[in-house]
């Protein structure tokens, strides 16, 4: 698939089949992630491949985090909500949790360490799309909690930046929508143009 076509036609696909994703495809997605640009060659990403019942532990962690916020966890409404959360990781046969572990290199800039991992995530989403898979970048507040850090044994500085849900497509991919480039772009051709910003 042509890169421009891949960029444009990639969509967040929530509905995928239960059919397992082969290791060969997973390896290609991971490899694409590792080719992201990274300043000072810190390669600050970590990937955790969750399949099968490892997804159960992610669900129970998400539920535990939610439960701690609830006024009345024993209520019927709370219990329903918690049971839905437990099922969430089973929406796709494959989840790749992507973390940043910022480098100790004194030159490294934290923001850029995150940027490199975000670029890796986009590479992975595009690779999965080019391989014919559906993908979805999921986060939410529980992603950035100490409990999640602990689950993946990250350092104090480490963070999970996304859960990438992947699976085989069940139906055609919908069209995307974006604002026009002109709405978000300013062309600067002279020094004075900065004064008009």
Ligand X SMILES: Cc1cc2nc3c(=O)[nH]c(=O)nc-3n(C[C@H](O)[C@H](O)[C@H](O)COP(=O)(O)O)c2cc1C
Binding site for ligand X (CB under 6 A): 11-12, 137-140, 176
Q: Residues with Cβ < 8 Å from 67, sequence gap 6 or more?
A: 73, 78, 82
User: What 3-state class would DSSP assign to 36?
Assistant: coil
**Least distance from ligand X to the Cβ atom of residue 139, Å:** 4
Which C-beta is closer to ligand X: that of 92 or that of 195?
Answer: 92
Which C-beta is closer to ligand X: that of 174 or that of 196?
Answer: 174
Which C-beta is closer to ligand X: that of 109 or that of 119?
Answer: 119
User: What 3-state class would DSSP assign to 171?
Assistant: coil
Distance CA 59, CA 20 (A): 19
**Least distance from ligand X to the Cβ atom of residue 41, Å:** 24
Which C-beta is closer to ligand X: that of 26 or that of 98?
Answer: 98
Q: For residue 121, what are its two tokens?
A: 């995530």
Q: In this structure, what are the phi and psi dihedrals at residue 55, rounded to the nearest 5 degrees?
A: -65, -25
Residue 46 parent element (H or E): strand 45-50
**Least distance from ligand X to the Cβ atom of residue 197, Å:** 26
Which C-beta is closer to ligand X: that of 63 or that of 186?
Answer: 63
H helices present in 11-162, as ranges? 23-34, 54-69, 76-87, 110-130, 146-151
Which C-beta is closer to ligand X: that of 11 or that of 40?
Answer: 11
**Least distance from ligand X to the Cβ atom of residue 22, Å:** 24
**Least distance from ligand X to the Cβ atom of residue 95, Å:** 12
**Least distance from ligand X to the Cβ atom of residue 126, Å:** 11
Q: For residue 84, what are its two tokens?
A: 């839905």
Q: What count of residues does the chain have?
A: 197
How far are the Cα atoms of 111, 113, 174 from residue 88, in angstroms, in the given order? 30, 29, 22
């Amino acid at each position: 698939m042509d890169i421009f076509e891949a960029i444009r036609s990639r969509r967040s696909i929530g509905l995928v089949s239960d059919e397992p994703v082969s290791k060969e495809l997973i390896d290609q997605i991971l490899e694409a992630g590792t080719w992201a640009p990274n300043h000072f060659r810190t390669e600050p990403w970590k990937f955790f491949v969750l399949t099968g019942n490892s997804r159960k532990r992610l669900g129970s962690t998400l539920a535990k985090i939610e439960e701690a916020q609830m006024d009345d966890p024993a209520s019927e409404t709370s219990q329903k909500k918690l049971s839905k959360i437990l099922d969430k990781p089973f929406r796709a046969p494959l989840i790749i949790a992507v973390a940043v572990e910022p480098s100790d290199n004194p030159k490294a800039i934290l923001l850029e360490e995150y940027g490199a991992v975000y670029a890796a995530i986009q590479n992975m989403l595009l690779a999965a799309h080019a391989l014919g898979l559906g993908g979805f970048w999921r986060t939410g507040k529980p992603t950035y909690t100490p409990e999640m850090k602990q689950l993946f044994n990250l350092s104090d500085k480490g963070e999970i930046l996304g859960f990438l849900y992947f699976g085989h497509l069940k139906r055609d991919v919908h069209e995307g929508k974006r604002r026009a480039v002109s709405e978000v772009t300013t062309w600067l051709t002279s020094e004075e143009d900065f004064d008009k910003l």
